[in-house]
Amino acid sequence: MKEEKWQEELERYFQGLRIIDKSQEEAREHFDQFCEFIVEPAVEALEDKLKQHGIKIKYWHQKYSCFHLQINFPGSKVANFHYVISLPKNSLDLKLSLKTFGRKDKNSPVSGGKEGPFLPGVKPEVILKLGKEDIILDIISHLKEFNYTARTSPD
């Protein structure tokens, strides 16, 4: 009878590993869907409006890992602001992180890095239901906060 108990426990262990692997795989797939169907269309819409102000952007999506947006200074190829959404390694759900950083002017070094949760008030199960407007507003909010702080800081 004891032998059967340890065998059951071993089987529960392997079942637990399968559940973790499946959850991680689903999180990676959902992150890629989020980037492709929500974030990229939002960034493309924002890109059209920024072009009207002489601002170019670059963006790229690293599969299963991150989405990186770079907003340049007006009329320049020099990066002003970076907005990076990441799926933390070994994530079981879409509890994403956000990192923002940039430079005060074209000649200054990159600084002002902030890292924290992406849309902290939004639960992971709601991420795939966000609209492009939600993403655009978050990007603008962080861009505005970074640049206002950079332009008004004494150093």
Q: What is the pLDDT along the chain (155 residues), one digit of tens a residue?
A: 456 889 999 999 999 999 999 999 999 999 999 999 999 999 999 999 999 999 999 999 999 999 999 999 988 888 899 999 999 999 999 999 999 999 888 888 888 789 999 999 999 999 999 999 999 999 999 999 998 988 887 76
Average pLDDT, the chain: 91
Q: Name the strand (E) or helix (H) holding 53.
A: none
Contact at 8 Å (CB) between 143 and 81?
yes
pTM, two decimal places: 0.89
Cα 41 to Cα 7, 33, 36: the distances in Å are 51, 12, 8
User: Token pair of 117, please?
Assistant: 């949760």
- State the Cα–Cα distance between residues 151 and 14, nearest whole angstrom: 55
Main-chain dihedrals φ then ψ at residue 68, nearest 5 degrees: -120, 125
Per-residue confidence (pLDDT) for residue 152, from 0 to 100: 84
The DSSP 8-state label assigned to residue 107 in this structure reads T
Residue 29's CB is within 10 A of a number of other CB atoms, namely 11
Least Cα distance to 111 among 97, 121, 100 occurs for 100
Least Cα distance to 136 among 58, 57, 48, 42 occurs for 42
